[in-house]
Amino acid sequence: MEQVSAYPFVKTLKRRQLEIGFVSLPVTISLVIVVILATRLLVKKLNEAYGSTLRHVPGPWHAKFTDIVLRYHNVVGDKYHWLTAMHKKYGPYVRIAPDEVAICDPAAVKKVHGLGTDFRKRRLPGQALNIFSMSEPRAHRARQRFYVNAFSNDKIKASHLPAVRDLCRIFIDNVREDASNSPTHSADLYKWCMLFGYDVAWEVVYGNAATRGVMARRGTIDEVMMGCYIQLQNAWLRFSYPTFVIARFLIPVIPSLRYTFDVFGWYQHYKDLAEEGERQSKIAARTTFVQGAQFDEKDGKYQLEGGLRMSQYDIAHDITTFLGAGGEPIGATLVYLIYTVLRDPTLRKEIEDEANRLQEPFTDVQVEEQCPVLDGTIYEALRLFGGGLTCLPRWAPTAQQLGPYTIPPETCVSSHIHQLHRNPAVWEDPERFDPRRWMKPGQSKALQTDKFQPFSSGARGCIAIHLVMTELRLFVATFFRELPGLSLGPSVTEKSMRILDRLHFAPVSKSLEVVLPESKS
Ligand code: HEM
């Protein structure tokens, strides 16, 4: 009887064991897979962290394993401040991600950017192919040679100087008009400085900025801000792809999100500009870029010097780069220059006096020769607030020795130019805004030295140095002659002027309010 009664129990037990075995097999397999993948990931991470010579480069502990902190600072736009803190803590070489090193040592920056370097730019996903992004040196050299004449000192002086002078005038008129329409008699200089820079670039590209430019038609700042929005979108995309995808659907509810997540809207803006470039190609043909060149109808390309062939589309992409580079860096440099001078009454008086002694119509060379404090102020603004990219990333196909460190192939090496310009080993009292340092005997004013390179250096340095120095000199002299007695508006504070790092530099408030004296408007 007992045997009989025990039988069903034994049967049930066996079934349960079978069932447990049946259920646990996939779980066990999954667990094994997870453990294998986790181990592989761990080994990979440990290998990235400690398996290469990068392990010797100092930096925060997390940078050995992940770039998430770097990406976060990219998203919030304070990479500049974070990198500054990192350099202060760890020195001129800092590992900021498993495969990225930030540098500000003059010798290393020279090696990475100087002529004959093995380091290259890299075109990032989604980036248009243009003179700025292309990485292959031979193709870049050919294209650069083509544009170099348009941006040469002779060409700028011969063809564009009067137009830049006109644009300075339009700037002053617009600021005065804004002030006279404002109950507080104020105007936003950030907007007009950005538009001014954009229009000067427009002048070089199309030659009709005084009538067709964005200042002449009192355009908006959004029209000229490309780099910063593209950076914001790319930073989000890399930081959190799901957020990037989902947030687009919230734009109807929170319209301000469009700046970050309306990727199609901004690319449409880019596209419009490229199309505008194509529409303008005939004007360009009559003026600067394709002067005297044959257009081959068969393949739709211009035949250019040195056998270079470029389509209108190629040129349109480059034009977008020139216009983008024209507005944001110039706008930022000028805004911080004006902000700094307006806070220092003695310096401002010296600059106004020098500018007032110039005879109209003056040239940039006269400004350089006759206004040493003003010229020193421009150099100092370029040193401390030069609006070019805050980080210049490069990659080398082979291992490279930078200072005491061996950098493995394909590591991203980012030069932090602003930190180079604040290096206490080569600059006396580096944080101090001191135009007179440029007036000291023996102080070089060369713009591409090891310790001072606001425009970078080597083959990939800024193509527009002569244009930039011409426009800065004419602008600053005109500004302090024509707008005396300005004061900073109540919205301007150290907090509002904190640097926002979005590819280029900008004040976090994206504004610089100034109040004009009533009688001068
Ligand atoms: C204050 C004004 C400016 C500053 C500080 C500045 C700075 C720079 C820097 C640092 C680079 C190197 C970027 C890199 O290595 O990735 C650069 C490249 C470049 N800049 Fe400027 N820039 C200014 C204005 C302009 C203007 C007005 C234009 C054109 C109208 C321009 C056109 C370019 C182009 C085309 C390149 C790429 C050159 C190449 O890769 O061959 N820049 N600039």
Query: Is 3's pLDDT higher than 50?
Result: no
Q: Is 464 in the pocket of ligand 1 (CB under 6 A)?
A: yes
**Which tops the pLDDT comparison, 258 or 140?**
140
Q: Is 131 in the pocket of ligand 1 (CB under 6 A)?
A: yes
pLDDT for the residue 315: 80
- Ligand 1, atom 11, lies closest to the CA of 462
| Helical (H) or strand (E) element with 471 | helix 465-482
Q: Could you tell me the distance, in angstroms and rounded to a whole number, from the CA of residue 157 to the centre of ligand 1? A: 19
C-alpha distances in Å from residue 185, one per residue of 78, 511, 517, 519, 520: 33, 16, 8, 11, 11
Instruction: Indicate the annotated binding residues.
Output: 462
Q: What is the mean pLDDT of residues 117-134?
A: 85
Do the beta carbons of residue 304 and residue 143 sit within 8 Å? no
Model's pTM, two decimal places? 0.85
Q: Could you tell me the distance, in angstroms and rounded to a whole number, from the CA of residue 325 to the centre of ligand 1? A: 6
Query: Is 128's pLDDT higher than 50?
Result: yes
Q: Is 391 in the pocket of ligand 1 (CB under 6 A)?
A: no
On the question of a cis peptide bond just before residue 361, with omega within 30 degrees of 0, the verdict is yes
Cα-to-chain-centroid distance, residue 266: 17
pLDDT for the residue 356: 97
Q: Could you tell me the distance, in angstroms and rounded to a whole number, from the CA of residue 461 to the centre of ligand 1? A: 7
Query: Is 320's pLDDT higher than 90?
Result: no
Q: Could you tell me the distance, in angstroms and rounded to a whole number, from the CA of residue 456 to the centre of ligand 1? A: 8
Q: How far apart are CA 103 and CA 91, in angstroms?
A: 9
Strand partners, 487: 515
β-strand 412-416 against 100-103: which pairing, if any?
Answer: parallel
Residue 450 — pLDDT band, cuts 50, 70, 90?
very high
Q: Could you tell me the distance, in angstroms and rounded to a whole number, from the CA of residue 472 to the centre of ligand 1? A: 14
Of the candidate ranges 114-123, 202-211, 333-342, 356-365, the one whose mean pLDDT is the lowest? 202-211
Token pair 């024509």: residue: 482
- Ligand 1, atom 18, lies closest to the CA of 462
pLDDT for the residue 27: 85
CATH of the domain at 317: 1.10.630.10
- Ligand 1, atom 5, lies closest to the CA of 388
Atom of ligand 1 nearest to the CA of 321: 35
Token pair 């990198």: residue: 83
| Highest mean pLDDT (candidates 229-233, 354-358, 421-425) | 354-358
Do the beta carbons of residue 148 and residue 451 sit within 8 Å? no
Q: Is 413 in the pocket of ligand 1 (CB under 6 A)?
A: no
The one-character DSSP state at 9 is H
Q: Is 330 in the pocket of ligand 1 (CB under 6 A)?
A: yes
128: CB partners within 8 A, 6+ apart: 270, 274, 317, 320
pLDDT for the residue 6: 47
Query: Is 11's pLDDT higher than 90?
Result: no
Where does 96-160 have alpha helices with state H? 106-113, 137-148, 153-155
Residue 412 CB coordination number (10 Å): 18
Tell me the best of 131, 462, 471, 472 to mutate to test the pocket of ligand 1, counting ligand atoms within 8 Å of each CB and taking the most: 462
Report the mean per-residue pLDDT for the chain.
86
ipTM exceeding cut-off 0.95 for this assembly: yes
Q: What is the mean pLDDT of residues 237-253?
A: 70
Whether residue 443 is contained in a domain is answered as: yes
Whether residue 511 is contained in a domain is answered as: no
Please give the residue range of the domain that contains residue 398. 56-500
Within 13 Å and on the Cβ side, how many CA atoms surround 96? 30
Domain count, the chain: 1
Q: What is the mean pLDDT of residues 382-399?
A: 91
Q: Could you tell me the distance, in angstroms and rounded to a whole number, from the CA of residue 166 to the centre of ligand 1? A: 23
**Which tops the pLDDT comparison, 143 or 452?**
452
Whether residue 288 is contained in a domain is answered as: yes
Q: How far apart are CA 70 and CA 80, in angstroms?
A: 11
Q: What is the mean pLDDT of residues 18-29?
A: 69
Whether residue 297 is contained in a domain is answered as: yes
Query: Is 79's pLDDT higher than 60?
Result: yes
| Helical (H) or strand (E) element with 515 | strand 513-515
Token couple for 194:
């950005």
pLDDT for the residue 1: 40
Residue pLDDT, tens place only, 40-76: 989 888 888 888 999 999 999 999 999 999 999 988 8
Q: What is the mean pLDDT of residues 26-30?
A: 86
Where does 51-78 have alpha helices with state H? 68-76
Q: In what order do the strands lie in the sheet with 93-97?
A: 93-97, 100-103, 412-416, 391-395
Q: Is 470 in the pocket of ligand 1 (CB under 6 A)?
A: no
Q: Is 456 in the pocket of ligand 1 (CB under 6 A)?
A: yes
Closest CA to 448 of 468, 430, 433: 468
Q: Is 333 in the pocket of ligand 1 (CB under 6 A)?
A: yes
Closest CA to 308 of 144, 133, 134, 115: 144
Q: Is 325 in the pocket of ligand 1 (CB under 6 A)?
A: yes
Do the beta carbons of residue 64 and residue 76 sit within 8 Å? no
- Ligand 1, atom 37, lies closest to the CA of 132
Q: Is 516 in the pocket of ligand 1 (CB under 6 A)?
A: no
Q: Which residue type sits at 209? A: A
Whether residue 252 is contained in a domain is answered as: yes
Q: What is the mean pLDDT of residues 172-200?
A: 95
Q: Could you tell me the distance, in angstroms and rounded to a whole number, from the CA of residue 484 to the centre of ligand 1? A: 31
Atom of ligand 1 nearest to the CA of 134: 40
Residue 239 — pLDDT band, cuts 50, 70, 90?
low
| Highest mean pLDDT (candidates 63-77, 226-240, 244-258) | 63-77
Q: What is the mean pLDDT of residues 334-342?
A: 98
Closest CA to 427 of 419, 193, 363, 220: 419
Do the beta carbons of residue 426 and residue 110 sit within 8 Å? no
C-alpha distances in Å from residue 495, one per residue of 186, 386, 464, 500, 509: 20, 19, 32, 11, 8
Considering the chain, what percentage of its residues have pLDDT values greater than 90? 56
Of the candidate ranges 14-23, 135-144, 216-225, 451-460, the one whose mean pLDDT is the lowest? 14-23
- Ligand 1, atom 19, lies closest to the CA of 462
Whether residue 24 is contained in a domain is answered as: no
Q: How far apart are CA 182 and CA 221, in angstroms?
A: 18
pLDDT for the residue 286: 47
Cα-to-chain-centroid distance, residue 476: 22
The string of DSSP letters for 69-102 reads HHHHHHHHT-HHHHHHHHHHHH-SEEEEETTEEE
Q: Is 321 in the pocket of ligand 1 (CB under 6 A)?
A: yes
Whether residue 281 is contained in a domain is answered as: yes
pLDDT for the residue 85: 96
Q: Could you tell me the distance, in angstroms and rounded to a whole number, from the CA of residue 324 to the centre of ligand 1? A: 10
Do the beta carbons of residue 131 and residue 463 sit within 8 Å? yes
Instruction: Indicate the annotated binding residues for heme.
Output: 462
Q: What is the mean pLDDT of residues 196-208?
A: 89
Q: Which residue type sits at 363? A: T
pLDDT for the residue 147: 87
pLDDT for the residue 270: 60
Q: Could you tell me the distance, in angstroms and rounded to a whole number, from the CA of residue 1 to the centre of ligand 1? A: 97
Q: Which residue type sits at 360? A: E
| Helical (H) or strand (E) element with 393 | strand 391-395
Q: Is 193 in the pocket of ligand 1 (CB under 6 A)?
A: no
Q: Is 468 in the pocket of ligand 1 (CB under 6 A)?
A: yes
Whether residue 41 is contained in a domain is answered as: no
Q: Is the dihedral of CA 141, 143, 144, 148 positive or negative?
A: positive
Q: Is 323 in the pocket of ligand 1 (CB under 6 A)?
A: no
Residue 246 — pLDDT band, cuts 50, 70, 90?
confident
pLDDT for the residue 520: 45
The one-character DSSP state at 156 is I
The string of DSSP letters for 280-335 reads THHHHHHSSTTTT-EEETTTTEEE-GGG-EEEHHHHHHHHHHHHHHHHHHHHHHHH
Q: Is 187 in the pocket of ligand 1 (CB under 6 A)?
A: no
pLDDT for the residue 276: 58
| Highest mean pLDDT (candidates 72-81, 117-126, 279-288) | 72-81
Residue pLDDT, tens place only, 458-490: 999 999 999 999 999 999 999 999 999 999 999
Residue pLDDT, tens place only, 81-107: 999 999 999 999 999 999 999 999 999
| Helical (H) or strand (E) element with 26 | helix 2-50
Q: Is 386 in the pocket of ligand 1 (CB under 6 A)?
A: yes
